[in-house]
Amino acid sequence: MSNTDEQAGPSPTGSLAHRVPDLGALELLLAVARLGSLGGAARELGITQPAASSRVRSMERQLGVALVDRSPRGSRLTDAGALVTDWARRIVEAAEAFDVGAQALRDRRDSRLRVAASMTIAEYLLPGWLLALRAQRPDTAVSLHAGNSTVVAERLLSDEADLGFVEGLTVPTGLDSVVIAHDRLIVVTAPGHAWSRRRRALEASELAATPLILREKGSGTRQVLDAALGGLARPLIELSSTTAVKAAAVSGAGPAVLSELAVGEELAMRRLVRVPVEGVALARDLRAVWPTGHRPTGPARDLLSLTRG
């Protein structure tokens, strides 16, 4: 390749990406300068010599100057090539610093996971998922904030959580979601309550007329029950956790509406009795949620995969 080759000048317009050689071409030029051989530079970078020659010619056309003189004794930089090489060295060093910084950001992101979940999921599903995640990512520190669906949405939208889980009928505004499981609410009561001995199923009107131990408004459980009863559910007591509602029902304070996930052990040991209900839609989807347009990455993506396994 000779510096007498005709070079076409670069276009003065267009984006910077079209006017500046890519990093691979600049790394090749630096290798030629260091080794004094195009063939040696090609071998160092793991490409063929024809590919290296083609890349140099392309760079010369792009810049509009000759960069390398070829001779039987090897390859040497032209005066313009030496100047471009000096610039190239700074660009490559900046790119290496950029890569180190980006890796540090990825490491920091992957070293923690902030989860927000509504109560039933937090208490009865997440422990198993987080144990499985720990086996995959033992160095990731996980923090879990349990609250109702409204609180989960608030934490996600204020960047206080990386992934959330909700139980209601609708997805909070500003969030994307995917269904990860299905659940059903059931009516339960202590064995001494009159409902524990009834043979006829409860109807919606009777359930709506009876004061119940309920989760607070804003919770997914309450949202489903209010929708099923047309907003007519009557609270005997309102409590802010599934465990508290269950404990109150076991104590005999009154009937409660809880997730099937939460009362398996109590039903099996007859500390609670399931009361049949008809004409009331108490099924619900359990969803993973995240801010709209920001699909989970890193540990949050791995946890999401585990919930759907």
pLDDT tens, 71-95?
777 778 888 888 998 898 888 888 8
Helix%, strand%, coil% for the chain, nearest 5? 45, 20, 30
Would you give the end-to-end CA distance of the chain in angstroms? 59
Q: Which residue would you say has higher pLDDT here, 256 or 38?
A: 256
The pTM score is 0.62
Rounded to the nearest angstrom, the gap between the alpha carbon of residue 129 and the centroid of all alpha carbons in its chain is 14
Q: Which residue has the tokens 């209601």?
A: 168
Once rounded to an integer, what is the mean pLDDT over residues 110-116? 84
Q: Dump pLDDT digits (tens) for 261-295.
A: 999 999 999 999 999 999 888 999 999 999 999 99
Mean pLDDT in residue range 66-72:
83
Instruction: Report whether 181 contacts 220 (CB < 8 A).
Output: no
Residues 6+ apart with CB under 8 A from 169: 220, 223, 224, 227, 284
| Domain 16-108 identical in fold to domain 113-307 | no
Domain ranges of the chain: 16-108, 113-307
160-185 pLDDT tens trace: 999 999 987 888 889 999 999 999 99
Q: Say how far apart CA 39 and CA 11 lie, in whole Å.
A: 30
Q: By the 8 A CB rule, do 150 and 221 touch?
A: no
* pLDDT greater than 80 at residue 244: yes
Q: Determine the CATH number of domain 16-108.
A: 1.10.10.10
For 113-307, CATH gives: 3.40.190.290
